[in-house]
Chain A
């Protein structure tokens, strides 16, 4: 016989319900609030550790992020341009561009709900391919060499993206773990060539230092204006072009539409006659290819060399950017600038107060605190916390 015991109803203190969709203004407000809280928390961290007050903290952060010392004071465009190039602002924009293009590359994959955490590796393998061509075929005519570099980068990155996608579609292999592993394989390949080419030297240095073969700037002659010959500028412009293209690719093309449907429901995709396998393979090839292009740009216009740390962890940070931006390329611009600004601002903090025990790594800590807050606030955008009222306790 069953025991008839009085069952006391235990009501939880609060319960959580999913929101439909929050008003865009409100969700923006929450994000701003989270950001402010994060700034204050970081300020507190800074205050406790190195006794720097809030105002100085904010000032230093801002200067480190967007400082344009001597740019406006400079006389004439040429001088202002030179000052800009060495300003904090320029460094931020440059790094943001690098972060942005990787995030843009991840956009379509994530929109399709394919967890590509392999961007780091896809960038490195793209860079590696470009560097390989640059190293071994430096005698090719400049433009052709760059073109070949570009093509092999696209192929390398694309293949690096396709491999996990292939196994995902065929065997339903876990793509997160797979792409994660692919990162390290790419890094080790880069290490291998780095050490191979380095030979007995202590470091590889820039490839084709004297001939500048395969350098983006080799395309321009000395007659062009200084700003026009700036490789960073071209890097940023190309990144922006990709950002705009990706935005419209996802928004206005048939393929972009297919990605959206596949990401939403495989059943609906089948219903609409969309081949999930095909879309998945194609999208990952594109995602990897853009990472490959990023690798090409890094080699041809930024580092002119190769090493396993050349993506600088941006392949991982870009995941956070893409996720926070809800896969919208334009939102990614702001998010990338913001994250890099935080990084660079904190870096200046760290450098300024290194005598008080701050190290560059303090920058990582500040950035991580900020990211945790901004990520955490997504919860409040997606869910509503409801406290139980005693009214519900009324006797049934």
Chain B
């Protein structure tokens, strides 16, 4: 495929840098070419800057420095409208569609065409586009009646209708079933055949190999290189994507006397659209160990933790059994967080969405320390004194920088917000500590503080679950690593012996046979409590 390319440069990105705030550099001095008529995969881990880079082509962001050339001419793309004018269309992960409008209405929305407004004519053109590429949407169909896949198709039609020659798709298969993904790929091939340039942002290796002509790899905001797909293997791509192993100076004490704390059996659940997000997940967590969970984002990590915490409805036959240190066994299925707490299960949870779920942004540290304990005491009044003391303690021990204990936590920096949250959850003296992306967006120092805190908990015999995205950290911190891929377990490895490549491979590949260590007979005994 690649050799047929005439290799005319459609877009050239030259020395482009983009940063957010002062700390986060999303793209650093990226220089790369995109050829006309090719399907290019932009590969990289989460947070490697793929989407930011493409957003600069689509007019969402503007580069801090560097230049963009389209068809050899330097351009300045300041709005999506500018991007359209240059023939660039981007399909974002969050669709920009009006639900109550028909497909045709959505397509023509905002177009400044000359002449009479004629939806029927637009509908005809849409039909033509659909026929040409094999799309299965009808111009009269309402968006709210569409499947996710159809909505995505509609976004593509929208871009094509606007005369897009270069199409950027941001993780298009993340929301699709395998069958739908296959269909999308055949559509993309049709588009390539029609001379369009297609860029897909992805981190799924199989897709890269299946569809693209060339792969460009980004790592930590920097351009690593581009190779023709024909010359790439999953292994070589993984290596480029994850890079060489970086030695981190994170301590890893050996687990002391690990005891079974949490058993998860046949855990399955579905999202709002009815798509499965977790399928038959099985594992055991022991007290005194750090249980790492790796996976591309959106592979069910969030649902997994929320299911344990009592915030996610799970399918029938799922089992989560808590083994208390005193030997009592309790099923957590179908219990609300309040119920779980009342049962005496000391479960702490540091959710991914810190201000939207873990904390109350408008309240100060004291108010937030109260969040899980506000029911304390027998009077109708809240007891703020212990919370005030706790807030003081957390501020001191974790060095939280805040003007006062009553300053709304929303106004604190990301690192301090996380310290408040982690501080509160640890102070509850949990038996199980669930953490989701505990160090996301934090600077190195704060990150190490968090690692240290987790290790402290581990030494106390707490079962710590660490969902992370940085493989180096996962490898250095965890005792075991569970790898999720598309809502299924693709592997459970020993963090001390495994390699980064192995995990990278598992993250993107589901083994033929998912081996589990489920013990259905044993688990079934606990069923009665539901």
Contact = CB atoms under 8 A, between A and B. Distances in A.
- A touching B, CB within 8 angstroms: yes
Interface of A: 1-5, 7, 9-10, 20-21, 252-258, 260-261, 264-265, 267-268, 270-275, 396
A254 B381 contact: yes
B359 interface: yes
Interface stretch (B106-114, B366-374, B472-480, B517-525): B366-374
B411 A21 contact: yes
Contacts of A21: 408, 411
Contacts of A5: 85
B62 interface: yes
B374 A268 contact: no
A396 B62 contact: yes
A391 to B, nearest CB: 14
Interface string B366-404: 010011101100001110100000000000000000000
Nearest to B375: A254
7 contacts: A2-B163, A4-B70, A7-B75, A9-B78, A264-B362, A268-B360, A396-B63
A234 to B, nearest CB: 27
Contact of A260 (B87, B88, B351, B363): B363
Contacts of A7: 75-78, 82, 85-86
B357 to A, nearest CB: 4
Q: Interface residues of B toward A: which range? A: 35 or more
A9 B71 contact: no
Interface string B328-366: 000000001111010000000101010111111111000
B382 A254 contact: yes
Contacts of B86: 2-4, 7
Nearest to A255: B380
B411 A20 contact: yes
B360 A264 contact: yes
Contacts of A261: 360, 371
A260 B382 contact: no
Q: Which 9 A-B pairs have the closest CB atoms?
A: A2-B87, A273-B338, A273-B337, A7-B82, A267-B357, A4-B73, A264-B360, A257-B374, A272-B371
Contact of B358 (A268, A275, A396): A268
A268 B359 contact: yes
Contacts of A3: 85-87
Contact of B357 (A4, A258, A271, A273): A271
A197 B47 CA distance: 73
Contact of B351 (A2, A254, A271): A271
A271 B85 contact: no
A291 B65 CA distance: 60
B165 interface: yes
Contact of A271 (B62, B67, B73, B349): B349
Interface string B197-234: 00000000000000000000000000000000000000
B311 interface: yes
Given A7-B82, A252-B381, A260 B360 contact: yes
Contact of A268 (B87, B357, B408): B357
Nearest to A270: B311
Contacts of A272: 337, 371-372, 374
Nearest to A263: B362
Nearest to B66: A396
Name the residue in A1, A256, A260, A273 with the highest tally of chain B Cβ atoms < 10 Å from its Cβ.
A273
B64 interface: yes
Max chain B C-beta neighbours (<10 A), residue from A252, A260, A272: A272
B336 to A, nearest CB: 6
B9 to A, nearest CB: 13
A166 B329 CA distance: 38
A249 to B, nearest CB: 9
Given A260-B367, A396-B65, 17 more contacts: A2-B88, A2-B165, A4-B70, A4-B71, A7-B85, A21-B408, A256-B382, A260-B360, A260-B363, A264-B360, A267-B357, A268-B357, A268-B359, A271-B337, A271-B357, A272-B372, A273-B338
A4 B75 contact: yes
B382 A257 contact: yes
B348 to A, nearest CB: 11
A270 B371 contact: no
Nearest to B358: A271
B502 to A, nearest CB: 34
Contacts of A10: 78
Contacts of B349: 271
A21 B349 CA distance: 29
A10 B81 CA distance: 12
A264 B65 CA distance: 39
Interface in B420-439: none
Nearest to B165: A2
B337 A270 contact: yes
A253 B380 CA distance: 6
Interface in B293-349: 309, 311, 336-339, 341, 349
A267 B371 CA distance: 13
B381 A271 contact: no
Query: Which of A21, A271, A275 has its CB near the most chain B CB atoms (within 10 A)?
Result: A271
A345 B357 CA distance: 48
B341 A273 contact: yes
A3 B88 CA distance: 11
B260 to A, nearest CB: 26
A165 to B, nearest CB: 21
A265 B357 contact: yes
A253 B381 CA distance: 4
A7 B76 CA distance: 6
A271 B311 contact: yes
A323 to B, nearest CB: 16
A329 B186 CA distance: 63
A257 B370 contact: yes
Nearest to A249: B380
Contacts of A396: 62-67, 76
Contacts of B353: 267
Most buried by A among B64, B88, B363: B363
A264 B309 CA distance: 21
A270 B375 CA distance: 14
A274 B62 CA distance: 42
A274 B87 CA distance: 50
Contacts of B363: 260, 264
A252 B85 contact: no
Contacts of B408: 21
Contacts of A257: 367, 370, 374, 382
A251 to B, nearest CB: 9
